Structure 1
Amino acid sequence: MLEFKFPDIGEGITEGKLLKWMIKPGDKVKEGDTLFLVETDKVNAEIPSPGEGIISEVMAKEGDVIYVGNVIVKIDTGDGSGKAEVKPINEKEEENAGVVGAIEVSSEVIESSLESYKNGASSKQKVLATPVSRKLAKDLGIDINEIKGTGPVGRVMKEDIYKAKEQMELPKSEMKSETKQEVINRPALEIPELKVSGEIERQPLSTLRKTIAKNMVLSKTIIPHAAVMDEIDVTKLVEFRKSVKEMAEEKGVHLTYMPFIIKAITLTLKDFPVFNSSYDAEKEEVLIKKYYNIGIAVDTPDGLLVPVIKDADKKGILDIAREIQSLSEGARNRNIALEKLQNGSFTITNYGALGSSTGIPVIRYPEAAILGIGKIGKKPVVNEKDEIVIRSIMNISLCIDHRIIDGGDAGRFLNRLREYLESPMLLLMS
């Protein structure tokens, strides 16, 4: 009998909502067959069977919230045993822990670790760690729940466990004191009790919306935002796109303004590297990124997702347009691979697509800036000859991390961006 547990599919995902069963008791399944569809805070993932057999029992209903480590389905493999076979643990597991395509590697056909939980907390609250890390902590006699992880979204890595072991062996006089970042992250105030009067209706948040809420609080709590807004005359860009739109469609590409904006942003970021960085508050250092991974906020029925165009500086306008189409479709269908949502260095949000002219976006932590784009509209403008002419104008807003970027920097950044967008031929020559 194989007791299949909801696997750790990486990126800090600890729970999900079981959307649909693809099997029922009595069905025969092969290794790799889809057992169920689960909604996480980032994607909808199909969870495959780790082995072959007959479905004996399902342990959750559609709509239930399930947690990593919970037994979800029992599969009769015909071997007569009461436990799943324990697969050997190897170094590859930790490498694949954050990859959706490698679910089988970290699936819990591995016995649960026996570490204790603080204050009687249930397994629903256990720390994020791969089976490799859990076994290492167990072998070293360390309570993994006492370790602060340095991996993605607080995941406990092997290096964290070795450091914890070293700390345990140090005299008290040499124990590490609280870091600056830990002091910064201490809650500063108590949230008062919410009181309402009159009739209300309570609506639970989706897993994606919960994550958005946490990320917004994180960004606005840690990053001191400042905003600079301006208008850009994109008349030549509008004309250029119109002239090449039909050609792009012949190549199967729906050409919007976003690929041009992404190309302009990558060129501007190369001129102003601090905008393509993150601030390390603990070490008081700026991390300048040498890669240009541009996130594009996509509106979905459940909330915003931010797929990332990797190495945008190495791609042409049509290549970027194709990738935007693919990523946007995957984000809206919630079947986008997790790796497509990771490692952004700068983000663009297009509220103009919904008809809005202006807005003040929130920086995506730990990035240093975000660009907001409003709709393009026709306006009367006084030109250099003092003539009133009709031009296509786009409103933009740039929000910056004011710890490392000043208003003057933001102004120079927007002036350079304006040069590229007002003269689109520069994008093709660069």
Structure 2
Amino acid sequence: MTIASAVSRSAGTIVILSAMVACSPQKPPENAETPKANPTAPEWLGPYDEAQKTVLAMPLDATIEQRAHRTYPDLTRFSFAGDSPISVPDDLLMFANHVSEVLAASPLLYVFRTGPASLANIHALFGPKPVDDPDPWQRVAVDAQGSPSLVPSLPTDDVRPLLDQGMKAGPKGLDSLKQAAEKSKTVPGVQAMLADAALAVGDLDTADQAARVALAADPSFPLSFRILAEVRWRHHQQDRAKEAIARALALYPTYPRAWKVAEVIVGHPIDRAVVVEQPFIEVNDKGAIVVVSCDRPFCVGYASCKAAFRFEPVFRAAMLQEPESAPYHLSVTEEVVCLQAGLGTHMAEREKNPAISDPTAELLIQLAAEKGLSSFALFEILGFHRPEWLRIAPRPVHEALVHHILVHVLGTPMHEQPSHDDIITARRTNTGEGR
């Protein structure tokens, strides 16, 4: 393993910053982790491996004026933000310069190193590894203030024996599930069990009806959209199948079966064209902030910005328009600002050295100029680490995600995107204003 290092305090050009506006923090899903009393050592962090420990133990070449304190995200909070226009290159260079300025003025010591992607401390950055599949026994509920949250939605005691019987193969099993579903119209998980059993025997009408009943109870139930995608595909309705599977993925980006269905619908394996390598960011025993990223300018700028969000409360408060006392938490705004800072760093270095090549950065610059980076950040980064939050995303954010997936993941040309159908109408009718 090769590690290059530097202590960076270079000041950037002073610029006037226009802070991005994020939606207010949302209420936590029921399955979100709750931080323990000691925020410096949450149980979900886990131990670092030997390579990570080696990086933290490396000697420093500078004195520490003020010790930094280990900081991890408050997983009970999350901030969404919608897509907004990005001026290329002005906005990108502005954020790159501002991050450089913030770090240069900080009394904290930031030690920047370059190293392999395997060093990334993903859990420290985003929390514990998520469950791959959406929890079928939760549904979205909207309170009197219009705020959505995930709440338990379990079968009743009299339904459980029917579900057990329904696990048996054959017509009797399906009949038991139909009885269970009839008694459980507000429990989406039971409807999904019936729908999947019906799919298995080719009963597409029953599967379709059960999925729609589940959506009436929870318009953001990802299993229903995956089931509808399978039904529509078998009916040779490819465009409508694409839309349904895009909604399933927008609601839970790590959903394995949804990805398999998506690949069947588009007829080929789906590769992620743009992967943003995550850094290693941690405070060592001496109180210095160690930041390790790949050696590309984009990686360095992105990692520097994420460190600033974590350890510079004044900067974070300006970006999120929150009090400085607000705990650090994950947000779409952080990812979008840091992507821009990384891209600005790339563009500045490319201006000095035209030979610099970074296909990832160039693709992101193109996306930023076309529609912004919020949907990309929410789906490709945050959604793969904290997918549970996407089930309660505000409605405009969800619609933007669906558009992003149709165009940039499933490859649907703009003019071929399906129009909103009755499923979308049902989702809007059953969703509170807070979405």
What is the TM-score with the length of structure 1 in the denominator?
0.26
Instruction: Tell which structure's C-alpha radius of gyration is larger.
Output: 1
Normalised to the residue count of structure 2, the TM-score between the two structures is 0.25
More helix by share: 2
Higher strand share: 1
Q: Which has the higher contact order (CA 8 A, sep 6+)?
A: 2
